[in-house]
Amino acid sequence: MLNHGSCVVEGISSAIAGILIMLLVMFFQIKRWKNRGLIRPDRKPQLLGTSRNHQIEIFIRDYGPIAPNRYRYSEIKKMTNSFVEKLGQGGYGSVYKGQLPDGQLVAVKLLDKGMGDGEDFINEIGSIGKTSHVNVVTLLGFCFDGNKRALIYEFMPNGSLDKFLRRDESHLDWNTLFRIAKGIARGLEYLHEHCNTRIVHFDIKPHNILLDEDFIPKISDFGLAKLCKRKESIVSVTGARGTAGYMAPEVFLKRLGGASHKSDVYSFGMMVLEMTGACKENIASTTDMSGIYFPDTIYKKLEGGENVEVDGVTTEEEEELAKKMVMVSLWCIQSDPSDRPSISKVVEMLEGSFQSLHVPTKRFWSSPTRYSQGTSASTTLDSSHERLLTQATREDLST
């Protein structure tokens, strides 16, 4: 009996010890989650609120220790001095200048209500949050606090590229423009070829290219990005994604083969054409697409060995850089995605000699007759493809 009692006592002691160990493990795990902001002691379970909030909380939890820092809204207000210095306004919210406790300057994007409740918010954290490249902006943290959403990036003192392409702003010299184009191409190459999961941006345009103090370009704004396996050639998207003028035709005309990483190549080509001044109007702001999607004049001049007219060229070196940028752009904007080079090939073309390049076979949209008042789109275009493209651009992509 004595031995039996001893065994019972030992068994109970072992069970209690096991329970205590489990409780200690749970205690330290919960403490770890609190320190990372995944559990908030000052908030009740209603933090999950809606099913969408619950999904985002699960995503953040599953993201694990590689997630960027999480901040309370009160901390966001403090780092921006109550949002006193506004840097700009975008489609998803306003951007403010801020400062972290260690003195580092940051740009805080405060998302509009409703804009941070879905795919765009998750995309931003899930894609850019785990990238590391000199030509991709760094996401330093985020705020998901009740109905408040914010994203914290490294601060770019020279703002976005688009302000340097406006006629009323000071223009960059050709060497700087060329370095910027190469940097963007390298950033895209990293996203397409060197991440564990391929990241297709789907909104490459001057407004989404930020410039640091040395005018090194950084790709930003991953709200429309899609992640896919590198072996996958087609990306599943619902509806058009991107900005009219920079958006590849296959993104909204499925008959062309479907969206892919080659869609970013197209957007890059349109943006570089705008950088050279070969597109005389700002692509994002104009409502007449006939001179933008259809670079007939540029193509004919290059094919005939003539110089493309660009502003600010003063030396033979600058002329060669300008012509190289235009030539590479024409390859990038081929209407058939399979005719476009990969972004790795684009980098190779930009880094190689101009003499090694040749004018591509003309396989991009031909210029339609400009609309006259009272004339419908269907009677002024030469082909059904052009008609579909222009109608989609004017009607469906204006929103």
For 85-138, give the secondary structure using H, E and C.
CEEEECCCEEEEEEECCCCCEEEEEEECCCCCCCHHHHHHHHHHCCCCCCCECC
* Phi (first) and psi of residue 347, to 5 degrees: -60, -45
Which among 15, 385, 331 is positioned nearest to 7, based on CA atoms? 15
Sign of CA dihedral 117, 118, 122, 128: negative
Specify whether the CB–CB gap between 203 and 224 falls below 8 A: yes
- Is 280 flagged in the annotation as binding? no
**Structure tokens given for 243:** 């900005």
- Count the neighbouring beta carbons within 10 Å of the beta carbon of residue 369: 12
Residue 127, judged by CB atoms within 10 A of its CB (0-12, 13-18, 19+), counts as buried
Active site residue 203: yes
Q: Which residue has tokens 């072996």? A: 231
Sign of CA dihedral 324, 327, 330, 332: negative
| Choice among 203, 221, 264, 339 that is catalytic | 203
The DSSP symbol for 288 reads -
Specify whether the CB–CB gap between 153 and 106 falls below 8 A: yes
Active-site residue set: 203
Residue positions forming the annotated binding site for ATP: 109
